[in-house]
Structure 1
Amino acid sequence: MSGLRVIPTWRHGREWLYVCGEDGGTVAWYDREADRVSLLDEARGGDALEALRPFLVGSVAVGPPPVPTPAELAGLALHPDDDLAPNRPGEHLAVALDRDPGPPRRLRADPRRRALAAQQRVGEVLDGLEAAGWRVLHAVPLPGGTYVHHLVIGPGGLYALHTVPARGRRVRVADPFVTIGRAEPQPLLRRARADASRCSYALTAEVHPALVLVTPSSAVPPAPHLFTDTTLPTLARTGGHLKPADVEALHMLARDRGTWTRA
Structure 2
Amino acid sequence: MHGLKVLPSGRPGRGRLYVSLPDGRTVAWYDRLAKRISILSDDRCDAVLAALRPYLSGDWTIGPPPVPTPAELRRLYLPPDRDLAPNRPGETLLGELAHGAPGGSRTRHRMRRRLLALQRTGAELDLLEATDWRAVHDVPLPGLGLLDHLLIGPPGVFALRTVPGRRQRAQVGDLLLTVGRADPGPDPRWIRRAAARAARALASTVTPALTLTDASRVDVAPTLRDVLVLQPPTLTTTLRAIPPTLKPPDVEALFTLARTRTTWTPEP
Q: Structure 1 residues 58, 232: CA separation in 2 closer, same or farther (over 3 Å shift)?
A: closer
Cα distance in 2, alignment partners of residues 79 and 107 from structure 1: 38
Q: 1:243 aligns with which of 226, 242, 247?
A: 247
- Name 1:118's counterpart in structure 2: 117
RMSD of Structure 2 on Structure 1 (CA): 2.4
> Quick one: which of 208, 231, 236 aligns to 2:234?
231
Q: Say if 1:208 and 1:114 are closer, same or farther in 2 by CA, change over 3 A.
A: same
Tell me what 2:219 maps to.
Answer: 220
When structure 1 is superposed on structure 2, of 68-77 and 11-20 the one drifting more is 11-20
122-131 or 209-218: bigger deviation: 122-131
Distance in structure 2 (CA, Å) of the matches to 1:60 and 1:129 = 24
CA distance in 2, matches of 1:131, 1:55: 18
Deviation at 1:219, TM superposition (A): 3.7
Q: Residue 14 and residue 122 in structure 1: after superposition, are their counterparts in 2 closer, same or farther (change >3 A)?
A: same
Structure 2 residue runs without a partner (length 5+): none
In the alignment, is the contact (CA less than 8 A) between 2:16 and 2:30 conserved in 1? Answer: yes
Partner amino acid for 1:42? D
| C-alpha separation in 2, matches of 1:231 and 1:213 | 11
1:102: how far off?
6.2
Q: CA deviation at 1:183?
A: 0.7
Tell me, yes or no, if the aligned pair for 2:10 and 2:136 is still in contact at 8 Å: no
Distance 1:38 1:207, change over 3 A: same
Judge conservation of contact 1:171–1:179 (CA < 8 Å) in 2: yes
Summarize the alignment of residues 28-67 of structure 1 with structure 2, pairs less than 5 Å apart: 28-58=28-58, 60-67=60-67
Question: Are the counterparts in 2 of residues 210 and 227 from structure 1 also a CA contact under 8 Å?
Answer: yes
Q: How many residues align?
A: 261
Q: For 1:154-182, what per-residue CA distance to the aligned partner results, in whole angstroms no more than 9, with x for missing partners?
A: 22221110000012111122321111111
Mean CA deviation greater in 247-256 or 144-153: 144-153
> Which residue in 2 is equivalent to 1:75?
75
The CA deviation at 1:141 is 1.2
Q: Report the equivalent of 1:3.
A: 3
Q: Does 1:136 align with 2:135?
A: yes
Structure 1 residue 109 displacement after superposition = 5.8
- CA–CA separation in structure 2 for the residues paired with 1:235 and 1:21: 38
8 Å Cα contact 2:6/2:20 also seen in 1: yes
Q: Report the more deviating stretch, 68-77 or 199-208.
A: 68-77
- In structure 2, what is the equivalent of residue 182 of structure 1? 181
Greater CA deviation, 21-30 or 73-82?
Answer: 73-82
- Runs of 4+ aligned residues of structure 1 deviating over 6 Å after TM superposition are none
Deviation of 1:59 (Å): 5.3
Q: Match of 1:202?
A: 201
Distance 1:123 1:242 in 2: 22
Q: Is the 8 Å Cα contact of residues 132 and 154 (structure 2) preserved in structure 1? A: yes
Q: CA offset at residue 34 of structure 1?
A: 3.4
- How much identity, in percent, do the aligned residues show? 50
1:254 aligns with 2:258: yes
CA distance in 2, matches of 1:207, 1:182: 31
Which range is displaced more, 170-179 or 217-226? 217-226
Distance 1:150 1:44, change over 3 A: same
Q: 1:238/1:205 Cα in 2 relative to 1: closer, same or farther (>3 Å)?
A: same
String of CA shifts for 1:24-48, please: whole Å, max 9, x gaps: 0011122334333221122222222
Unaligned runs of 5+ in 1: none
Supply the distance in 2 between the matched residues of 1:244 and 1:6 (Cα, whole angstroms). Answer: 25
Using a 3 Å threshold, how does the CA distance of structure 1 residues 190 and 4 change in structure 2: closer, same or farther? same
- Distance change >3 Å, CA 237–CA 186, structure 1 → 2: same
Q: Which deviates more, 110-119 or 72-81?
A: 72-81
What do residues 101-142 of structure 1 show as CA deviations (whole Å, max 9, x unaligned)?
569x94686111111111111111112223443221111112
